Amino acid sequence: MDPKSNKSKYEPQSAVCYEYLVSKMQRGELVSGMSVTEQGVADELGISRTPAREALRRLESDGLVVSEPRFGMKVTELGYIETLELYEAREALEMAAVEICAEKISDIEIAELEILQEQMAGSVRDPSRMASLNYAFHKALLNAVKNRYLTMSFEVIQKTLAILGPTTLANTERAEESLTEHQALIQCLKQGDSAGARKVMGRHLSNAKRIRLRQINQRLVDES
């Protein structure tokens, strides 16, 4: 059989498998240090090992899993320093992006942000849904910048954030605080206030980092 035709046969299942595993990470069901095997993924989805293998290789290329000789793969472990570095990169990217966004965003795009904000406000007691809406909110901001390279960088960072575990929005106080920050950001965008938008985004991400580091410290206490 032609290897190329064989590859194309498995590509759709491989893509579905990849998205399934990323989704599990985002829901906190597959987090740092957990093992994941070709056979386990194949059994879970009712597919053969080949597309499962391709999906895991793609995750490895993204830096989300690492190979364990004789054991398969495990989700990449991010410690305190790595988490700080990740949030530092996120802050640099999104603060710059929102500053540009304030100059480019349209009324229609602002209206979309307001719809997402309203949906988030109704999902405070559902952290998983709120996290998905929060991702959509931040992605909409990046889309309004209209710069494909910033958007691609954003996607890489968001995928890596997924392996840190449950969303910081599971903290109700943080969820409410995040909504207030989003509203202030929308107001800055309406006024075309680039400096204000950058300042609000910096505070927004700094507060998210604070909760994330608290989660890591608590996990270390629980494991000791």
Closest CA to 158 of 18, 64, 21: 64
Cβ atoms of 144 and 137 within 8 Å: the answer is no
Residue 221 pLDDT class (50, 70, 90 cuts): low
- 9-19 tens-digit pLDDT: 546 889 999 98
Task: For residues 61 and 204, give the distance between their C-alpha atoms in angstroms, rounded to a whole number.
Answer: 30
Residue 150, amino acid = L
Residue 90 pLDDT class (50, 70, 90 cuts): very high
What percentage of the chain reaches a pLDDT higher than 90?
Answer: 62
Instruction: State if pTM tops 0.75.
Output: yes
Q: Give all domains of the chain, ordered by start, each with its CATH number.
A: 3-75 (1.10.10.10), 80-223 (1.20.120.530)
Cβ atoms of 41 and 25 within 8 Å: the answer is no
**β partners of residue 75:** 65
- 133-170 tens-digit pLDDT: 999 999 999 999 999 999 999 988 988 888 887 788 88
